[in-house]
Amino acid sequence: MLCWGSWANTQKLVQGQWRFELFYWDYVLGILLFALLGAFTLGSYGEGGRSFLQDLEQAEAANIRSALIGGVVFNLANILLTAAIAHAGMAVAFPLGIGLALIIGVVLNYVLASKGDPLLLFTGVTCVSVAIILNALAYRMHRGGNMDSRATGKWIVVSIIAGILMSTFYPFVAAGMDLSDFRTPAVGKMTPYTAFVIFALGIAVSNLFFNSFLMRRPLEGPPIAYSMYFRGPLRMHTVGLLGGAIWGLGNLFNLIAAGKAGPAISYGLGQGATLVAAVWGVFVWKEFQGGSKTVKFYITSMFLLFIIGLGLIIMAGN
Cβ 207 vs Cβ 24: under 8 Å:
yes
CA distance 251 to 256: 9
Query: Helix (H) and strand (E) counts for the chain?
Result: 15, 0
CA distance 99 to 160: 9
CA distance 273 to 35: 20
**Residue pLDDT, tens place only, 23-36:** 999 999 999 999 99
Task: Supply the pLDDT for residue 81.
Answer: 87
Identity at 305, one-letter amino acid code: L
| Of residues 55, 49, 24, 50, the one with CA closest to residue 206 | 24
CA distance 173 to 190: 10
174: pLDDT strictly greater than 80: yes
Where does the pLDDT of residue 79 fall: very low under 50, low under 70, confident under 90, or very high at 90 and above?
very high
Q: How far is CA 192 from the centre of its chain?
A: 17
Where does the pLDDT of residue 246 fall: very low under 50, low under 70, confident under 90, or very high at 90 and above?
very high
Q: Which residues pair with 190 in a beta bridge?
A: 177
Stretch among 89-98, 211-220, 305-314 having the lowest mean pLDDT:
89-98
Instruction: Establish how many alpha carbons lie within 13 A of residue 285's alpha carbon, considering only the half-sphere containing its beta carbon.
Output: 22
Cβ 1 vs Cβ 269: under 8 Å:
yes
**Domain ranges within the chain, ordered by starting residue:** 2-316
- Exposed / middle / buried, residue 57 (Cβ in 10 Å: 0-12, 13-18, 19+): exposed
Task: Supply the pLDDT for residue 150.
Answer: 64
Stretch among 42-46, 100-104, 314-318 having the lowest mean pLDDT:
314-318
Task: Supply the pLDDT for residue 97.
Answer: 85
Where does the pLDDT of residue 22 fall: very low under 50, low under 70, confident under 90, or very high at 90 and above?
very high
CA distance 95 to 234: 31
CA distance 233 to 229: 9
Average pLDDT over residues 247-265: 91
Identity at 176, one-letter amino acid code: G
Q: What is the 3-state secondary structure (H, E, C) of 105-133?
A: HHHHHHHHCCCCCHHHHHHHHHHHHHHHH
Where does the pLDDT of residue 144 fall: very low under 50, low under 70, confident under 90, or very high at 90 and above?
low
Give the pTM: 0.89
Where does the pLDDT of residue 149 fall: very low under 50, low under 70, confident under 90, or very high at 90 and above?
low
What crossing angle do the helices spanning 263-270 and 118-143 adopt, rounded to 10°? 20
